Structure 1
Amino acid sequence: MSRQEIIASKEKSKAELMMIVALIAIMMAVFLEYFFRQEETLTGTGFSALKGRFVSEVQVIHGQWLMDGEPALVKQKNAAGQLTQIRVNKQGWVDSTSDNQRCHDIWIQVIGSQPELLKKPVSVIEILRQGSEQEFLCRYAISKTQFFEYSPKTGKISL
């Protein structure tokens, strides 16, 4: 092989390598764009599933309260199989006696973990009704438009 052929071959391999690198960079850019476009949809779907789980758990706890003869604490097994006690009010809805983190405590009693979804925090907001310190709502949100509210007084969950 002549020297000129060797140089041409090296230049050809450099050009091929640059084309491969450019192709990989384009593929990564397309993947990232697709991922970020779908992230909101994935989060919304996950939050909808979490809402459904919250609703189901509250109903199961209320049903257990009725079957157990309306106690102040409902005993229920968690996902790990351990017996937990869930505080309910006189109407049988999940409640908390904490003064400063009632809604956070309710979430932990119902879901059994810290308020988060896909390693992102779920905002926990306590909304006091005007004229009554006893009546409050718990709002659980991941954005301004994706949230649900729970009323411990009535057990109503607005989606």
Structure 2
Amino acid sequence: MNNNESSEERLRPLLLNLVVVLVVFILMASLVSYFYRSEPDLKKIAMSTLADNFAKSVVNAHWQWQAEGNPPRVLLVQYNAEGKEVNRSPIPMSHLGWPKATPDKHGCEQLWRAVLDVPMTVNNFHVIAEYYDGVHNSGDALESMCRYRLPTGPYFDYKIYTGKVLKTNV
């Protein structure tokens, strides 16, 4: 009986330590899970901001195209927050007055660079440009668009013939 009591005495602190470790582990896992869920999705926020900037630049180019008498290209001037000029980029315009892209992936990439003048990356993820032919997909040329997306998650579309920027998944 004496051996039994001594083994129980040695086992009790071990069980107590195991329970303490389990409780600490469960609390840590709960805290990590809570903070992970409450953190904003930075990729989504960045793509939404880029979509807004893209839409603003597209509309600016359209108004400039109209003001200059419908030229085949306009020179879009971009300013920083202090009002200083930071870039000038020529943008080819369609006959409808919207920034145009050649009907392929590379045309969409060139359009991104001309309209936004920023690298095609978001939080170290490469932005993928894709071209969707409206005639092929829906039978309507006005549905042709460039889609700018991350490998997973958010994206936005630019309708080439109408100038609309659709923030579908941002």
Q: Which bracket does the TM-score occupy, shorter chain normalised? A: 0.5 to 0.7
| Other structure's SS at 2:51 match | helix
Q: Which residue of 1 aligns with 2:157?
A: 149
| CA shift for structure 1 position 63 | 1.0
Q: Which residue of 2 aligns with 1:138?
A: 146
| CA shift for structure 1 position 157 | 1.8
Tell me the TM-score normalized by structure 1. 0.67
Cα 1:134–1:142, aligned 2, differ >3 Å: closer, same or farther?
Answer: same
Tell me the TM-score normalized by structure 2. 0.63
| CA shift for structure 1 position 121 | 1.0
Q: Which runs of 5+ in 2 are unaligned?
A: 1-24, 80-84
Q: Which runs of 5+ in 1 are unaligned?
A: 1-25
| CA shift for structure 1 position 134 | 9.1
Q: Which residue of 2 aligns with 1:119?
A: 124
| CA shift for structure 1 position 36 | 5.9
Instruction: Give the alignment's Cα RMSD to 1 decimal.
Output: 3.1
Q: Which residue of 1 aligns with 2:47?
A: 47
| CA shift for structure 1 position 84 | 2.3
2:104, 2:131 within 8 Å by CA — same for their partners in 1?
Answer: no
- What do the CA deviations read for 1:56-94 (whole angstroms, capped 9, x no partner)? 111111111111111111012245634321111111111
Q: Which residue of 1 aligns with 2:58?
A: 58
| Other structure's SS at 2:156 match | strand
1:98, 1:105 within 8 Å by CA — same for their partners in 2?
Answer: no
- What do the CA deviations read for 1:118-154 (whole angstroms, capped 9, x no partner)? 2211121111121578963101112555211111111
Aligned length: 131
Paired AA for residue 70 in structure 1: N
Taking only the aligned residue pairs, the percentage that are identical comes to 25
| Other structure's SS at 1:101 match | helix
For 1:143 and 1:38, the matched residues in 2 are separated by: 23
